[in-house]
Homo-oligomer: A and B are copies of this chain.
């Protein structure tokens, strides 16, 4: 843990107690109370891996509030109140913050953290978050940061949104991105195939589920920024009560016809825009992979529209560099935002390609980034690195052009040996022996913008157990320490 403390946060000692400083807030990690002759010690398991999530949230809300009346924020699952006390000190134009938690232990901690930070506009609530969100209070911002999935809170949250910002975390990345596809279908309604760009697929699955909950209540969503943090997914969506906008859903939701042999794919929207509104898609349905001849699997339904709003992200970057230079994760966030802006020309193409994996599919060693860009750009296609995962590229090139680039590269590098150790009747053989219709020029001088988008994980990075534990230190008796989860 030493490295994290040094790099990302700061412990402060005061009156013999230890506090953590994050952003502009100071929070208590321990709280000791004497009760019925026993010392009750409550401890917040502070998770430094989530600093970037909280910094990002402060920045998103502080950008969303611009040109609005003073805003009301609901921190629906507040735990220690850390988010609320940060919002109160780091976001402009805040009228009121509701810090809500069902756990009584949380309430005491939130209360102490409010006093510690001397903030006046944070109100504490002790309600079931779902009931609070059904209370017909209009929140400008709702932050939902649950353990696991957001699903149980989704409908109530949408109910409370009307021209509002909804900030959603899901920590069940095993379900949204990982092997638990059965649970993914049951809970999120999306059939997921195994693919390289699993982070984007997880985000598109989550956005699909949110869009459906919204559509049912006559509301539309617009994703402002989507973020993947390895063990969690985080999306920020603008929810509006706009029935006409919900009609657009017909073209924003679709299925991905995905080839598990060569990772080629086609995005097939359910609907298409016509003169008289949105109608069912009349385009031919792709059934077999045109690159390797394998059958497609159906990955969907998923959100196939933009997952970031470029204008909003640009404003975020400006605000980061002017108002939020104090962030502990300033560099990481600056890198991600720049990465999103850099991929803007190809961001309307959902999903991406892992060129290393595609090359290994054809049994050739890795193509350099420069050669990749040269190959695509010499053919007139656009390409950019994906900000979500290392080694992924977004492009407007069709599947066949992408494989033509790798094939051509292999033929140049391997000469007559390019079919060596490739077995007949395999997808690789089919691809390598099929006609090449694109001729990339690897001597082309490519242009690309760079941003440092990926940082190594810190020591101790990963999901933590629930935020608050209660240790009962029985002083009068045997001094044994019993741990009991209360949250």
Contact = CB atoms under 8 A, between A and B. Distances in A.
Contacts of A271: 182, 185, 191
Nearest to A189: B212
Contacts of A280: 181, 191-193, 297-299
A286 interface: yes
B297 A216 contact: no
A284 B131 CA distance: 46
A217 B134 contact: no
A301 B298 contact: no
A335 interface: no
Interface string A257-273: 10000000000101100
Interface stretch (A246-254, A310-318, A344-352): A246-254
A215 interface: yes
A281 B297 contact: yes
A420 interface: no
Interface string A286-314: 11100000011111010000000000000
A470 B187 CA distance: 44
Nearest to A209: B216
A75 interface: no
A298 B278 contact: no
Contacts of A185: 215, 247, 249-250, 253, 270-271, 278
Given A249-B186, A250-B186, A216 B154 contact: yes
A156 B128 CA distance: 14
Interface in A111-134: 130-131, 134
Contact of A247 (B183, B216, B268): B183
A326 interface: no
B191 A298 contact: no
Secondary structure call for the A interface: mixed
A143 interface: no
A431 B257 CA distance: 29
Contacts of A159: 130
Interface in A340-386: none
B282 A297 contact: yes
Contacts of A247: 182-183, 185-186
A467 interface: no
Given A212-B212, A295-B285, A278 B182 contact: yes
Interface string A209-222: 10011011110000
Contacts of A182: 247, 250, 271, 277-279
A103 B253 CA distance: 38
B287 A284 contact: yes
A463 interface: no
B287 A295 contact: no
Nearest to A248: B186
B181 A279 contact: yes
Nearest to A215: B186
A151 interface: yes
Interface in A200-243: 209, 212-213, 215-218, 243
A282 to B, nearest CB: 7
Interface string A124-161: 00000011001000000000000000011011100100
30 contacts: A130-B159, A151-B217, A155-B213, A155-B216, A181-B280, A182-B250, A182-B277, A185-B271, A186-B246, A186-B249, A186-B250, A187-B216, A187-B246, A189-B212, A189-B215, A191-B250, A193-B280, A212-B212, A268-B298, A270-B298, A280-B297, A280-B298, A283-B295, A284-B288, A284-B295, A285-B285, A286-B287, A287-B287, A287-B288, A301-B301
Interface of A: 130-131, 134, 151-152, 154-156, 159, 181-183, 185-189, 191-193, 209, 212-213, 215-218, 243, 246-247, 249-250, 253, 255, 257, 268, 270-271, 277-288, 295-299, 301
